[in-house]
Structure 1
Amino acid sequence: MLLKVENAKKAKRALSLAQHIVRDIEAGAHAPGDRLPREEEMLARYDVARATLREALRFLELQGVIHLQLGRSGGPVVARPQTGDFANSLSLILHFMDADLRGLLELREAIAADVAAYAAQRATTGDLSALADCLKELERNEAGGQFEELNRRFHDLLGWASGNPLFGLLTSTLHLITREFSHSLGYSAQERAVQLRFLRRVLEAVRTGDSEAARQAMARLVSGSASYLAERSPELVSQRVRWGQI
């Protein structure tokens, strides 16, 4: 019992230290690639045990905040957490929640239409150019093996074009988690044509700033896509999310 209590205290100290290091990274305006102080300097600065410091640094590395370089000139180097870091953490939580693909599809359906509407209000010239280029690639690959990946990329770009990074992060994260599911299914030629038709409508609505038209087109697209997946492969949409599939 005493050992459990002591381990819990050590973990709490390490987490508190990790939070302190993050605040110092922010206060120092450190950019990705910047080196943090070496271990001896950090031990003196934070006045902690070596084991506590190393546990805090390992935690930050798992979260994508730093990476640890090996060798004589190594040490902690500032990184920038990526969407994959968040997706990996979320998939672990979903694993223990017994979440399935159907739940992820319902979440996507709940937000996708509003994301498109925000994009129609806020998309920049650069966003529109990237979306148009992606749609052209989709059209060229309508019968190719890259269709599903390019399709996800279009939706990712739309999420970031919403002007709200939370929408961009969530959209991209959902696609990372569901990627393996879709690889095992794929779209029929007819479904690909339907997807392209609605994506063209979405892009035109975003380009003209018509948020309601963008919302309606995207709502029909994701609803139809979810129905297609459920009808074609009901056993697939019932599969549980498993950590490590990303």
Structure 2
Amino acid sequence: MQPTVDNVKKAKRALSLAQDIVRDIEAGARVAGDRLPREEEMLARYEVARATLREALRFLELQGVIHLQLGRSGGPVVARPQTGDFANSLSLILHFMEADLRGLLELREAIAPDVAAYAAQRATTGDLSALADCLKELERNEAGSQFEELNRRFHDLLGWASGNPLFGLLTSSMHLLTREFSRSLGYSAQERAVQLRFLRRVLEAVRTGDAQAARQAMAKLVSGSASYLAGRSPELVSQKVKWGQI
């Protein structure tokens, strides 16, 4: 059933209104936790139908821009979109593109070495401390059930340590998208030891500001990891990304 012209127009009006609300949030320097005006005030301000306003607010809630509190004192409250919001939207697109785990692994191979190099140039004292603490936890859990999760956390921290939030966002989102895949496989004891060896090299290169060494160590780590996963479970890396698995 094709959408009617009126429905398309209503959707466009709701999207346009959502954009206006975002601009007003920015103009008013509103931060997470701030309440937006009540419904009657917003209807008067934007001169739209109630249904259009509610559709715009639902759209913004789905994007993580606001959340709607229920009850007598409820209403729209400003939120801060999280990595999970982006990853969820990305997974929907990848679902229809029929992207698979192999594609995500290749993307990681392409960007992870440069992310490590940028981190070597830009990591702060706080970044280095967080990375070192995470690596210590990894070493303590080398044989434990938290190894994969801590491993992902190290790479997430490295992405944000690059000084470019786009790298941090993309790295963390990829890990959310691949979490279910890796849970069903996991690393052998030998592969965990290999991962730790290269992570130590990466951290040392980042600590000393050696971008080239960080890039080389990370390139070997992610390439080896991808080969390990493809060799151990070729059917797994062929699995498609499914929306709703995050």
Whether TM exceeds 0.5 here: the answer is yes
Q: 1:180 Cα deviation (Å)?
A: 0.1
- Secondary structure of the structure 1 residue equivalent to 2:76: strand
1:73 and 1:138 map into 2 onto residues whose CA distance is: 45
CA distances 1:152-190 after superposition (whole Å, capped 9, x unpaired): 000000000000000000000000000000000000000
Q: 1:38 Cα deviation (Å)?
A: 0.2
- Secondary structure of the structure 2 residue equivalent to 1:144: coil
Tell me whether 1:201 sits opposite 2:206 in the alignment: no
Q: 1:8 Cα deviation (Å)?
A: 0.3
Aligned residue pairs, count: 242
Unpaired runs of 5+ in structure 2?
A: none
Partner of 2:35 in structure 1? Answer: 35
CA distances 1:44-63 after superposition (whole Å, capped 9, x unpaired): 00000000000000000000
CA distances 1:122-174 after superposition (whole Å, capped 9, x unpaired): 00000000000000000000000000000000000000000000000000000
Q: 1:33 Cα deviation (Å)?
A: 0.4
2:28 and 2:106 map into 1 onto residues whose CA distance is: 41
Q: 1:80 Cα deviation (Å)?
A: 0.2
CA distances 1:63-113 after superposition (whole Å, capped 9, x unpaired): 000000011100000000000000000000000000000000000000000
Q: 1:12 Cα deviation (Å)?
A: 0.2
1:174 and 1:220 map into 2 onto residues whose CA distance is: 19
1:163 and 1:226 map into 2 onto residues whose CA distance is: 26
Partner of 2:230 in structure 1? Answer: 230
Tell me whether 1:66 sits opposite 2:66 in the alignment: yes
1:199 and 1:73 map into 2 onto residues whose CA distance is: 50
2:56 and 2:245 map into 1 onto residues whose CA distance is: 26
Matches within 5 A, 1:141-180: 141-180=141-180
- Secondary structure of the structure 2 residue equivalent to 1:143: coil
Q: 1:25 Cα deviation (Å)?
A: 0.3
Q: 1:21 Cα deviation (Å)?
A: 0.1
Q: 1:203 Cα deviation (Å)?
A: 0.1
- Secondary structure of the structure 1 residue equivalent to 2:214: helix
CA distances 1:5-57 after superposition (whole Å, capped 9, x unpaired): 11000000000000000000000000100000000000000000000000000
Detail structure 1 runs of 4+ shifted over 4 Å in the superposition: none
Q: 1:221 Cα deviation (Å)?
A: 0.1
2:195 and 2:138 map into 1 onto residues whose CA distance is: 10
1:207 and 1:70 map into 2 onto residues whose CA distance is: 48
Q: 1:237 Cα deviation (Å)?
A: 0.0
What percentage of aligned pairs have identical amino acids? 92
Q: 1:208 Cα deviation (Å)?
A: 0.1
- Secondary structure of the structure 1 residue equivalent to 2:245: coil
Unpaired runs of 5+ in structure 1?
A: none
